[in-house]
Amino acid sequence: MSELLDLSDGGPSNRTSIADPAIDGDLAWLMSLVARPTGGSGASRVRGGKAPDHEPTYVVLPSTSAPRLLFSEGLPTSAVRGHADPTNTRAILRRRAMQAAASQVGRRVLGTRVHVTGRPARLDEHLAEVIGVDGAGILVRPGEPGRANRKPIVQVVDRRTGATLAWVKVGWNDLTTRLVRAEGLALNGFDDPHGQMITPTIVDAGRWHGLDLLVTDPLPEPGPAVPLTEIRHAALLLEVARRGLGTTRMTLRDGPWRTSWTSRVAEIASPRRGQLLSLLVGLLDERGQDQLLIGSWHGDWTPWNMHVGANEVQVWDWERSCGGVPVGLDAFHHTFQQELLTDGKPVTEAIAATRAATLPILAMFETGGDDLVEIVYFMELAARWGADVAEPSGAWLAPHLDALIAHLHREIAP
Nearest to 1 by CA among 39, 54, 48: 48
Under DSSP, the state recorded for 19 is S
CATH of the domain at 269: 3.90.1200
- 252 and 385 belong to one structural domain: yes
Q: Is residue 58 part of a domain?
A: yes
Residue 75 has what pLDDT?
87
The answer on 122 and 240 residing in a single domain is no
Domain count, the chain: 2
Residues 199 and 251 both lie in one domain: no
Q: Are residues 298 and 184 in the same domain?
A: no
Residues 140 and 212 placed together within one structural domain of the fold: yes
Phi, psi of 413 (to 5 degrees): -65, 140
376 within domain boundaries: yes
Same domain, 204 and 235: no
Beta bridge partner(s), residue 313: 197, 308
Both 204 and 246 in one domain: the answer is no
Q: Which residues neighbour 192 within 8 Å (Cβ) at sequence distance 6 or greater?
A: 239, 242, 243
CA distance linking residue 230 with residue 362, whole number of Å? 9
pLDDT value for 148: 67
Residue 168 lies in a domain: yes
Give φ, ψ of 288 to 5 degrees. -60, -25
225 lies in a domain?
no
Which of 182, 216, 250 terminates a domain? The answer is 216
Of 168, 184, 216, which one is at a domain's C-terminal end? 216
Residue 355 lies in a domain: yes
Domain-terminating residue out of 160, 184, 216:
216
> Going by C-beta distance under 8 Å and a sequence separation of 6 or more, which residues neighbour residue 227?
308
Angle in degrees, CA 207, 208, 213, rounded to 5: 60
Evaluate whether residue 315 is within a structural domain.
Answer: yes
CA-angle at 322, arms to 320 and 327, nearest 5°: 110
Q: Are residues 192 and 298 in the same domain?
A: no
Q: Is 390 exposed, middle or buried (0-12, 13-18, 19+ CB in 10 A)?
A: middle
Say yes or no: 270 and 121 in one domain: no
What SS3 class is residue 310? coil
| pLDDT string in tens for the chain (414-residue length) | 444 343 333 333 333 333 454 566 888 888 889 988 776 554 333 233 466 666 778 888 888 888 899 999 888 877 766 554 333 334 444 455 555 554 443 444 357 888 777 778 899 999 999 999 988 999 999 987 777 678 899 999 999 899 999 999 999 998 899 999 999 999 987 666 678 999 999 999 999 999 999 999 999 999 999 999 999 999 999 999 998 788 999 999 999 999 999 999 999 988 899 999 999 999 999 999 999 999 999 999 999 999 999 999 999 999 999 999 999 999 999 999 999 999 999 999 999 999 999 999 999 988 888 999 999 999 999 999 999 888 877 889 999 999 999 999 999 965
Of 43, 33, 34, 48, give the one whose Cα is nearest residue 7.
43
Residues 287 and 298: their CA atoms lie apart, in Å, by 25
CA distance 277 to 26: 36
The answer to whether residue 367 is domain-embedded is yes
Residues 204 and 287 in one domain: no
Query: Strand 248-251 relative to strand 35-36: parallel, antiparallel, unpaired?
Result: unpaired
DSSP H/E element including 56 = none
pLDDT score at 195? 83
The domain of 192 spans 2-216
Query: 164 and 132 in one domain?
Result: yes
Residue 224 lies in a domain: no
166 with 41, same domain: the answer is yes
CA distances from 154 to 72, 99, 122, 168 (A): 11, 17, 13, 5
